[in-house]
Structure 1
């Protein structure tokens, strides 16, 4: 009985050791938010920067609709194969920003917009089109605004979003939040800036990250959540722990039989 009791104690102690709970400091978000907001409670105006491979919907309108028509791409008809009558639907053609940052715009020709904010691009197009028509209105929208979330989240993947104002908190929420094994104080954000990939580390347990340039995500950003020590240790120790417990159980059984 003593040997069996010893085995139970060893088993419980080992299990508790390897499944111990993480500290509050490593799990809770925004821990110093009161201090951060007391210093700066101003919401920064976020600007979306255009970059190669963006798909843009640009629509030009004016009081004189006929005058604005040459500055718009023609709609394309998509055939609906599920419709017995073969009726299709009109779809607005999109502008693809090429690898040099250019788009081909009707009447105006080749325009380089890479690196401009969306507002700067709209202002530029409005000024150029104003040379031809009176008071044009330019609307622009990025149609393939997406971010990638990988690692210790519940739903990793590529998220295409309608809004162009996406925060790191939004991306984590879209991914079903971090798992219990996600490292909240060292989240990696990879961003393309002028043809170079820039890594940045974010500590979401401290609210200071809300004032960083990586609080708002850019299109095509990659977010990676590292596993914490508990996950790493369990992945390494797990199989060995099972074998060790089995061997210990066998050893105690043999000793128990031998001492009867």
Structure 2
């Protein structure tokens, strides 16, 4: 009886250790963009983000004669503590796209920009400015181009970007990459277009992700990396860890007493 209990306990501990140390991950579940027969044909110009309602755009107008651009580029005189004289600092004017898809520009009035790419909006405004300014230059940037990364990543959060050209892999790198517990084959992308949210799945282990229309991100995209089964099981275990440890300790104590 004494030998049998000890033997059973030893076998149980051995089996537990074997399960723990044999739970190694598979390469196909971990490595990004594994080589296959996919023909890579990623073209950014096919998936350029388009201006949406409530976007905030920074618009700067330039010309050979800076005076003629004054109505479009308000200037403030500011004095800094480490300067002896006032300096002119151009404030980059921002415009919010309203619910009708318009921005209101000085002299031009309402200009519809929703549905246009940043380059298309530049050309449209430049054309309309030509009636007031000779050979105007226009620069437009998103002031609130933001993506959010949630779930099993090292540093989840929202990131405001200076450019609209960003890929899902770049967004994940800003969030510190996926943890070892993140599911790489089923990354969720949530995108809002014209007030409607859509969901899309990306398999980061496949090269054809590079050809996906969702490889390049749009403003306000949300990326969610779900936990793998091991992490889900660990979370269930974690809630009852103290109870399990107490019960295990009690069982070991009883067995020790019985086998003396």
Q: Which residue of 2 aligns with 1:217?
A: 217
The CA distance in 1 between the partners of 2:87 and 2:232, in whole Å, is: 53
3-state SS of paired residue (2:68): helix
Judging changes above 3 Å, is the alpha-carbon distance between structure 1 residues 16 and 50 closer, same or farther for their aligned structure 2 residues? farther
Structure 2 residues without counterparts, runs of 5 or longer: none
TM score, norm. by length of structure 2: 0.85
1:205 positional shift: 0.9
Output the aligned Cα RMSD.
2.7
Q: Which residue of 2 aligns with 1:54?
A: 55
Judging changes above 3 Å, is the alpha-carbon distance between structure 1 residues 231 and 145 closer, same or farther for their aligned structure 2 residues? same
Judging changes above 3 Å, is the alpha-carbon distance between structure 1 residues 242 and 60 closer, same or farther for their aligned structure 2 residues? same
3-state SS of paired residue (1:25): helix
Give yes or no for the alignment of 1:23 onto 2:23.
no
1:5 positional shift: 5.1
1:51 positional shift: 1.5
The CA distance in 2 between the partners of 1:53 and 1:89, in whole Å, is: 30
3-state SS of paired residue (2:164): coil
3-state SS of paired residue (1:35): coil
1:18 positional shift: 5.5
**Mean Cα displacement is larger for which, 127-136 or 201-210?**
127-136
TM score, norm. by length of structure 1: 0.85
Number of residue-to-residue matches in the alignment: 255
Any runs of at least 4 consecutive aligned residues in structure 1 with deviations exceeding 6 A, and if so which? Answer: 82-89
Give yes or no for the alignment of 1:173 onto 2:173.
yes
The partner residue of 2:15 within 13, 18, 21 is: 13
1:28 positional shift: 1.1
3-state SS of paired residue (1:217): coil
Structure 1 residues without counterparts, runs of 5 or longer: none
3-state SS of paired residue (1:201): strand
The CA distance in 1 between the partners of 2:63 and 2:232, in whole Å, is: 60
Q: Deviations over 1:210-253 (max 9, x none)?
A: 11111001111111111110100111134546644643443343
Give yes or no for the alignment of 1:67 onto 2:68.
yes
Q: Which residue of 1 aligns with 2:154?
A: 154
1:54 positional shift: 2.0
Judging changes above 3 Å, is the alpha-carbon distance between structure 1 residues 253 and 191 closer, same or farther for their aligned structure 2 residues? same
Give yes or no for the alignment of 1:116 onto 2:116.
yes
Q: Which residue of 2 aligns with 1:189?
A: 189
3-state SS of paired residue (1:110): strand
Could you tell me whether the CA contact under 8 Å between 2:141 and 2:162 is conserved in 1? no
1:58 positional shift: 1.0
1:77 positional shift: 5.6
